Structure 1
Amino acid sequence: MKHLLVTGGAGFIGSNFVHYWFTHHPEDRVVVLDKLTYAGNRANLETLEGDPRLRFVAGDICDAPRVQSLLEEERIDTVVHFAAESHVDRSIAGPEPFIETNIRGTFVLLEACRRYWEDEASDCRFLHVSTDEVYGTLAPDDPPFTETTPYRPNSPYAASKAGSDHLVRAYYHTYGLPVLTTNCSNNYGPYQFPEKLIPLIITRALEGQSLPVYGDGQQVRDWLYVEDHCRGIKAVLERGQLGETYNIGTRNEQRNLETVGLVCDILGSIYPERAEQFRSLITFVTDRPGHDRRYAIDPARIERELDWRPVENFETGLRKTVEWYIENRAWWQALRARQTLTFPSR
């Protein structure tokens, strides 16, 4: 039986991971620590409410006494660290929360684990979930990012994640903390906050609103279905080499305009009477500052060493995602009613 602390477990990827983990490890104990900022949502874990295997704690990863007490009370042996400020546009408008949460928060967690695991670290794991944005941007003909690609972050968000990655690495080499790092490509799927590109396009299209596309829409992203990402994290936790980094991607490069068009086509197949309308809603808007042109991940290492492969291709994963947002209108309509959403950052 494992005792997991999942930070940011009420967010998009974190909540998907909690559901996925219980499906495959029903005997384990999971403690979710989440500050419940705008993107954290208790409703993401609603089906687990009352489950004795799950404890939810509303709290900040920067609260060192709270983190330390949770490790001790729950006898935590595995930390999966999702908690982060992650929206590029918000980091441009106000970078301070990104520095506080992504860098200081990661430091607090590392320090707490170092103290608590000092005599039993060999049986423990600290997995830090990061992003491909730390590597910067790629030219059209550049090879995809690998684990040895130099860091060149281009936004306050990416810089804060790069800083946290370096802290995690340092705690392994300096203190021997049993850490692992994953850098993933763009995730999509159920429970994603509807200001990110794919859910924003789905929800606005369903309501007949304009579909904003930055610049010329030719930015390239490598899309990863969230459950495939969870499977990758599980593989790294269970079989990854301590101190190492594993890039999780799908070799699935899509231009943003193509992605928006595919969402429209899937919606059109579900609502044929509105098929022509969906694409007519596409609207080009002024590009944002420092917009990275292309991301792409080479997942060869995790494929070769951990035998991980994605289950979903882009079209099957995207159709599942569209259908989920159609079936869960109350979930995203409640979020949109109480939040001011920005345009998508990816």
Structure 2
Amino acid sequence: MDSALVIGGTRFIGRHTVEEFLEADYEVSIFNRGNHENPFAGDDRVEHVQGDRTDTAALERAQEVVDPDVVVDCVAYHPRDVRAATDIFADVSAYVYVSSGSSYGAERVPKREGETPLEPCNDEQAVDDSPQTYGNRKAEGDRAVVEAAAEGVDAMAVRPTVVYGPYDYTERFDYWLHRVGAYDRVVVPGDGLSLWQFAYVEDVASALRIVAERGEAGEAYNVGDRNAPTLGQWVELIADAMDRPVHPVGASANELASAMLAPEEFPLYRDSPHLLSTEKLHALGWDSTPHEAALAKTVAEHRESGRTGEDEGPDREQTEIILGTI
């Protein structure tokens, strides 16, 4: 039986990745600081090695304890993290870096691996922690994967677009789930036509396993839903999943301004289309989950979670002003 080490492994993408590898009959270990609740505590199928992934000695100890065949790196947020991991795990069968669609540095539709330019990253950006440099740092991590592969390391990258699904602690998608669950009319910015491709979290997890098993060293693979609805269409899909008679109300920038709001204040709004080509990953045998099935699980977990996402966007009082004018 092959063994997999998931760096991270207890929260969102990492949690689903552990479950994906368990279902594929891997021996699975997780490596993290233990700062968050471990959903696998008491599960003798999952070994927990505690340590800080930015501590080289701790990462080396994890390598010695687990001796994995596959490493999935869910929490590499700086290029130095990727370079350290590809050095320490240089002999594994596959090192898979969880990158991001944010690493792309040109607005093209769709964005394609090896064709669409990546974000630049200078020395200052490489060590920064602000959201503004996230894409730069992820792009430099992608370049570190290519460098490692050139040295003989079986390193690959997976680039998800924005991820949704059960246990999403960011609450961005929960904002829309809560709105649809609580109200009959829901304001959607930009006339509802914002196009930001999403990726269902279980599909991201399956992509990580498939790339580990079938990917090519030095390559990056985009992952996102094969069908990309607009934000207004997402509200309708959520309403169907919740069996709610909800009407999405598109609001232009001028209409939003009447309540002193801007479109970008709403979670998961984007003023330019963000769409990733997934043909390269699909060629490895991967496919995305139909929205109906993905939302059924997402809605069920949301209802149990108590998350509302209310802090992620405009409150109801503000959107009521918009609804009163449309």
TM-score range (shorter-chain normalised) is 0.7 to 0.9
Task: Check whether the contact 2:7–2:74 (CA below 8 A) recurs between aligned residues.
Answer: yes
Distance 1:69 1:167, change over 3 A: same
* Distance (whole Å) between structure 2 residues aligned to residue 219 and residue 59 of structure 1: 41
Aligned to 2:286: 308
Q: What's the CA shift for 1:51?
A: 2.1
Aligned to 1:72: 64
Deviations for 1:306-336, whole angstroms, at most 9, x for unmatched residues?
12222x222332233112222x235x48xx8
Deviations for 1:64-92, whole angstroms, at most 9, x for unmatched residues?
111111101222232101115xxxxxxxx
Distance 1:63 1:209, change over 3 A: farther
Task: Check whether the contact 2:188–2:250 (CA below 8 A) recurs between aligned residues.
Answer: no
* Distance (whole Å) between structure 1 residues aligned to residue 67 and residue 118 of structure 2: 35
Task: Check whether the contact 2:190–2:250 (CA below 8 A) recurs between aligned residues.
Answer: no
| Equivalences, count | 294
* Distance (whole Å) between structure 2 residues aligned to residue 57 and residue 202 of structure 1: 35
Give the TM-score of the pair, scaled to structure 1.
0.73
Secondary structure at 1:253's aligned position in 2? coil
**1:185 pairs with 2:185:** no
Q: What's the CA shift for 1:225?
A: 1.9
Secondary structure at 2:78's aligned position in 1? helix
Percent of paired sites with the same residue:
25
Deviations for 1:126-181, whole angstroms, at most 9, x for unmatched residues?
11111122114535xx34434432114794211111111111111111x2111111
Secondary structure at 1:181's aligned position in 2? strand
Task: Check whether the contact 1:30–1:53 (CA below 8 A) recurs between aligned residues.
Answer: yes
Q: What is the letter of the counterpart of residue 29 of structure 2?
A: V
Aligned to 1:244: 219
Aligned to 1:296: 275
Aligned to 1:149: 116
Aligned to 1:81: 73
Alignment of 1:179-258 (within 5 A): 179-196=155-172, 198-206=173-181, 217-258=192-233
* Distance (whole Å) between structure 2 residues aligned to residue 52 and residue 263 of structure 1: 36
Secondary structure at 1:220's aligned position in 2? coil
Q: What's the CA shift for 1:254?
A: 2.1
* Distance (whole Å) between structure 2 residues aligned to residue 155 and residue 209 of structure 1: 35
Which of 54, 62, 82 matches 2:54? Answer: 62
Task: Check whether the contact 1:194–1:203 (CA below 8 A) recurs between aligned residues.
Answer: no
Point out the structure with the larger helix share: 1
Secondary structure at 1:254's aligned position in 2? coil
Task: Check whether the contact 2:82–2:141 (CA below 8 A) recurs between aligned residues.
Answer: yes
* Distance (whole Å) between structure 2 residues aligned to residue 247 and residue 230 of structure 1: 13
Alignment of 1:73-152 (within 5 A): 73-84=65-76, 101-114=77-90, 121=91, 124-136=93-105, 138=107, 142-152=109-119
**1:12 pairs with 2:12:** yes
Distance 1:172 1:209, change over 3 A: farther
Structure 1 vs Structure 2 CA RMSD: 3.3
Task: Check whether the contact 1:264–1:279 (CA below 8 A) recurs between aligned residues.
Answer: no
* Distance (whole Å) between structure 2 residues aligned to residue 33 and residue 309 of structure 1: 28
Task: Check whether the contact 2:191–2:249 (CA below 8 A) recurs between aligned residues.
Answer: no
Distance 1:225 1:215, change over 3 A: same
* Distance (whole Å) between structure 2 residues aligned to residue 341 and residue 60 of structure 1: 29
Q: What's the CA shift for 1:295?
A: 1.4
* Distance (whole Å) between structure 2 residues aligned to residue 29 and residue 54 of structure 1: 7
Aligned to 1:92: none
Q: What's the CA shift for 1:292?
A: 5.9
Q: What's the CA shift for 1:215?
A: 5.5
Distance 1:133 1:170, change over 3 A: same
Task: Check whether the contact 1:7–1:32 (CA below 8 A) recurs between aligned residues.
Answer: yes
Q: Which moved more, 1:250-259 or 1:211-220?
A: 211-220
Alignment of 1:154-173 (within 5 A): 155-173=132-150
Q: What's the CA shift for 1:235?
A: 1.5
Give the TM-score of the pair, scaled to structure 2.
0.77
Distance 1:161 1:36, change over 3 A: farther
Secondary structure at 1:252's aligned position in 2? coil
